[in-house]
Amino acid sequence: MLRSGRELLGRFRYRLASDWLPAAALSIRGSRLFGRFPDPGPNGPFKIFVIGSGRSGTHWLGNILASYPCVHITVEEAPIFPWVVEMAQRPELEATLFPKLVKRYRAEHRAVLPRHYVDKSHPNIWLAESLAREFPEARFIAIQRRLQGTVASMLKHAGVRRWAETWDLDPRPNRFLGVTETLQPLYRSMSIAARCAVRVIAHSKEIERLQGVLGPRLHVLNYEETFVDPRREFDRISDFLRWGAPAGVPMPNGASRDKWMTQLSNSDRADIAAAAKKLKAEAYLDDAQ
């Protein structure tokens, strides 16, 4: 309950400043540019959506795309990112929030035309089909990382780990966390490491499903492969988008590849492996297990 009329006014001003005003400014800028640059068609300029599981390298992938001079990028910005997260967890909110998201993406892109527009809101993995239908110019780049490394990073990141820790406060199926009705009873008794593994597996399986749905509009980057031959992987991104070489690519940190080996306890490893076996996802385990 609000404590006073002053607090109510303060919250109204915050919403006005954080939501309506930026959207209005983008709309005005976009309308001025519309006469010069029509809305993108199937051949671009592209709207590129970076998708994947949290802690799998999506932020780093966003940095790679930001290095191209022909790009404007937004990274987990409000109100886009909160909307995407809400819809990823609660599909019933799409009827209300998705039209707002579409309008915002159009305004963001129109304001920077003729450049390509990239958004790094990785839970868009759960909205990718709808975005592809809405935007013929949409392209998607997903990044996949093996289970142990992703889970180890999740456990060290309090904000990401909290999703698994707090599920019991709202214990219902949640595609964002990988909790299905069938898995729900077992999930209650899982360790946090196992719960994180369930989330990663759900995202990995969704990327595989989207490959069949989106076809040539989706490029999948393998996190581990970037350590083997980073230039080759970056060239593949350039070929996918039909762009030239990036202005400067942040090279992968070699220590990140196998850091999980010293970060995960034996019980963490066992719980991750058990979750993978239960969900028939042993292929996502690192060979070094």
Reference 87, options 168, 20, 180, 175; nearest CA is 175
Question: In the prediction, which pLDDT does 231 show?
Answer: 86
Instruction: Tell me how far CA of residue 158 lies from CA of 65, 106, 120, 163, 183, in angstroms.
Output: 27, 33, 20, 9, 24
Domain membership flag for residue 137: yes
Evaluate the omega torsion of the peptide bond into residue 91 and state whether it is cis, within 30 degrees of 0. Answer: no
Domain membership flag for residue 80: yes
pLDDT along the chain (289 residues), means of 10: 42 41 49 65 96 95 91 97 98 98 98 97 98 98 97 97 97 98 97 98 98 98 92 91 80 82 97 98 86
**Total domains, the chain:** 1
**Which residues pair with residue 143 across a beta bridge?**
52, 221
Q: pTM of the prediction?
A: 0.87
Question: In the prediction, which pLDDT does 255 show?
Answer: 78
Question: In the prediction, which pLDDT does 35 show?
Answer: 52
Domain membership flag for residue 12: no
Question: In the prediction, which pLDDT does 288 show?
Answer: 56
Question: In the prediction, which pLDDT does 251 show?
Answer: 74
Domain membership flag for residue 53: yes
Tell me, what amino acid is at 154?
M
Structural domain containing residue 149: 37-284
3-state secondary structure 73-102: EEECCCCHHHHHHHHHHCHHHHHHHHHHHH
Domain membership flag for residue 17: no
d(CA 50, CA 125): 8
Tell me, what amino acid is at 79?
P
Reference 264, options 187, 149, 144, 157; nearest CA is 149
CATH label of the domain that carries residue 41: 3.40.50.300
Do 104 and 79 meet the contact criterion of CB atoms below 8 Å apart? Answer: yes
Question: In the prediction, which pLDDT does 97 show?
Answer: 98
Question: In the prediction, which pLDDT does 20 show?
Answer: 44
Q: For the chain, give percent helix, strand, coil, nearest 5.
A: 60, 10, 30
Question: In the prediction, which pLDDT does 287 show?
Answer: 80
d(CA 203, CA 206): 5
Q: How many CB atoms within 10 Å of residue 162?
A: 11
Strand 71-75's sheet: what is its strand order? 71-75, 116-120, 47-52, 138-144, 218-222
Question: In the prediction, which pLDDT does 39 show?
Answer: 86
Domain membership flag for residue 190: yes
Domain membership flag for residue 211: yes
d(CA 174, CA 180): 7
Domain membership flag for residue 18: no
d(CA 205, CA 88): 15
